[in-house]
Chain A
């Protein structure tokens, strides 16, 4: 399965991100139909980018939350204040829990969020979506998270302004899974 003129991976990525002209895209897809090795990468990227478009990340934007609700997902929102344990129940009639972290974001360039479990940093997320006007960061909690840890997570929100990182709050949600 060799190809005399393989399409560079970067070019196939550009195809899937819509950054090529219609003529370029057409020329590449015509090549792909006659080339097994390029077709394999092309199809693999198709599956991957399609799946990425359907991912529900840990932190979702308000627009994404609204899109999920509009698609028919049953969401349950839990308000969460800094320093106060909140409780959320994953009942059978819920498809996705949304933890609404109340954050006084102020004027920041970006918001970062750390997920901590058992006191350890499990995940560091940079440039997460937030709504400064509403003072909210939205955590999307999926049902399969139940089996990821025996402990409940703590979310640590940071604001970054002019390169200076400042903790804005710690939020803990205690989950009941049903």
Chain B
């Protein structure tokens, strides 16, 4: 496996690993650490020919990701050290940078939502309330809340990526 292949591997999986980290660790810095730690482990396995079935590399990455998150949740000191030393194994430039969502643009996009949809989105992601609770307050079924919410998220995603608000 050459440097180009290794870099392609990192580019392919970095965003997935980061998103997995955001969902399970709820912290952008920890998610970035996860990207480094997982890619380091995967590259080391590739270099040592330890991946039994290279056609199932995605399963290997996923499994490594899951295990690393469990270690990080336990506050495993060894895992933290791995994240710190990952830079030595994963050359600079292998991992793409993640700009995330422009917050000011997102505020503008939120302002473009219909009032009820905006209320549902903010209640979900800022206040951590579920569809049932929100529905009870807005006199909507939980199913209706989910439909309004996923349509609003689709609209927001398009808007933050440069589409109309």
Which A residues lie at the B interface, using CB under 8 A? Answer: 9-10, 13-17, 19, 26, 29-30, 32-34, 36, 39-40, 42-55, 57, 61, 64, 110, 112, 123-127, 144
What's the tally of chain B residues with a CB closer than 8 Å to chain A? 50
**Are A19 and B106 in contact, CB atoms less than 8 angstroms apart?**
no
Residue of B at shortest CB range from A50? B22
A155 and B22 CA atoms in complex are apart in Å by: 36
* List of B residues within 8 angstroms of A110 by Cβ: 137
* List of A residues within 8 angstroms of B23 by Cβ: 15-16, 29, 46
A40 and B13 CA atoms in complex are apart in Å by: 11
**Are A55 and B19 in contact, CB atoms less than 8 angstroms apart?**
no
Q: State the majority secondary structure of interface residues on A.
A: helix
Residue from A26, A48, A123 with most neighbouring chain B CB atoms (10 Å) = A48
**Are B122 and A55 in contact, CB atoms less than 8 angstroms apart?**
yes
* List of B residues within 8 angstroms of A26 by Cβ: 66
B88 lies within 8 A of chain A by Cβ? no
**Are B150 and A10 in contact, CB atoms less than 8 angstroms apart?**
yes
B131 lies within 8 A of chain A by Cβ? yes
* List of A residues within 8 angstroms of B138 by Cβ: 127
B104 lies within 8 A of chain A by Cβ? yes
B6 CB, min distance to chain A CBs, angstroms: 18
A150 and B53 CA atoms in complex are apart in Å by: 63
Residue of B at shortest CB range from A67? B126
**Are A123 and B111 in contact, CB atoms less than 8 angstroms apart?**
yes
**Are B124 and A17 in contact, CB atoms less than 8 angstroms apart?**
yes
B87 lies within 8 A of chain A by Cβ? no
* A–B Cβ pairs within 8 angstroms, 21 of them: A10-B150, A17-B130, A29-B20, A32-B16, A32-B19, A34-B58, A39-B16, A40-B15, A46-B18, A46-B19, A48-B153, A50-B22, A50-B28, A51-B101, A51-B103, A51-B160, A52-B122, A53-B125, A55-B125, A64-B126, A127-B137
Task: Report which of A19, A43, A57 forms a contact with B122, defined as CB distance below 8 A.
Answer: A57
Given contacts A30-B59, A33-B61, A34-B58, contact A57 B126 (CB under 8 A): yes
Task: Report which of A33, A52, A127 forms a contact with B126, defined as CB distance below 8 A.
Answer: A52
B165 CB, min distance to chain A CBs, angstroms: 12
A34 and B16 CA atoms in complex are apart in Å by: 10
* List of A residues within 8 angstroms of B119 by Cβ: 125-127
A49 and B125 CA atoms in complex are apart in Å by: 7
Q: Mark B1-22, 1 if CB is under 8 A from A, else 0.
A: 0000000000011011011101
A119 CB, min distance to chain B CBs, angstroms: 19
**Are A55 and B124 in contact, CB atoms less than 8 angstroms apart?**
no
**Are A55 and B126 in contact, CB atoms less than 8 angstroms apart?**
yes
* List of A residues within 8 angstroms of B121 by Cβ: 52
Given contacts A55-B103, A57-B110, contact A125 B115 (CB under 8 A): yes
